[in-house]
């Protein structure tokens, strides 16, 4: 896996024009993109198909949480689009994740990635919805369940990466949103993620992929930020 494909640029935009502008500015240097619910709702599957047609990896972040039949259908649709990854909620349980993995089997490039705990949540948030586990305990429990269900990887915060790499072994993908550039960490920049970390720290801890959004896409020179990340991680 090349370094460029380990850096997933989050296209968290509400217009197609803004998303396409970033893809154009990054050019060949941008190899992997995240398309989430907001952009998919605005742009539809045709935008994903265009990215795939341009040779890009697409992390289709759908966070599927439905009955097994519906999840399997959505995973097959992601496979037909040519997505490289699709997310399913581990909280859906083993039956849902197993259905997703079976549906993905017909698409060799498609990886089912289980979301453990949303990276904006804290221990207090888990308690508020009736869970007595800490974030660390819940992430570990759901990651084990995802592995036993046949998922190809998990989504977790960069601060969970070392724990999960030790727990899951060398083969599982670990995708980490919530990365912040070191300069932002130093200045205490605002973030929606409860457990952020710099990109290099996430990779050193065992992450296979980092997901970076506004730190790059809202930068004055996104291409320069991507080049710096590539050098740092490489």
Catalytic residue set: 63
End-to-end CA distance of the chain: 11
Question: For residue 117, how many C-alpha atoms fall within 13 Å in the half-sphere facing its CB?
Answer: 30
d(CA 6, CA 230): 9
Helix (H, G, I), strand (E, B) or coil at 4: helix
Q: Is 87 helix (H, G, I), strand (E, B) or coil?
A: strand
CA distance 101 to 205: 26
Residue 41 to residues 36, 65, 138, 214, Cα–Cα distance (Å): 9, 17, 30, 19
């Amino acid at each position: 896996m090349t370094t460029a494909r380990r850096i997933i640029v989050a296209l968290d935009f509400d217009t197609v024009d803004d998303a396409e502008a970033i893809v154009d500015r990054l050019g060949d240097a941008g190899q992997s993109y995240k398309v989430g619910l907001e952009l998919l709702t605005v742009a539809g599957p045709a935008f994903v198909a265009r990215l795939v047609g341009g040779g890009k990896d697409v992390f289709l972040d759908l966070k599927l949480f439905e009955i097994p039949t519906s999840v399997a259908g959505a995973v097959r649709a992601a496979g037909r689009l040519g997505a490289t990854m699709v997310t399913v909620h581990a909280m859906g349980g083993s039956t849902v994740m197993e259905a997703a993995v079976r549906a993905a089997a017909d698409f060799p490039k498609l990886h089912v990635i289980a979301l453990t705990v949303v990276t904006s949540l804290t221990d207090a948030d888990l308690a508020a919805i009736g869970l007595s586990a800490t974030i660390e305990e819940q992430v570990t429990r759901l990651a084990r369940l995802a592995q036993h269900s046949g998922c190809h990887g998990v989504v977790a915060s960069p601060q969970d990466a070392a724990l999960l790499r030790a727990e899951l072994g060398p083969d599982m993908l670990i995708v980490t949103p919530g990365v912040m550039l070191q300069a932002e960490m130093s200045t205490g920049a605002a973030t929606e993620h409860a457990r952020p970390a710099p990109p290099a720290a996430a990779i050193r801890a065992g992450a296979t992929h980092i997901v970076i959004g506004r730190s790059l896409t809202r930068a004055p020179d996104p291409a320069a930020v991507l080049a710096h990340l590539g050098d740092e991680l490489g």
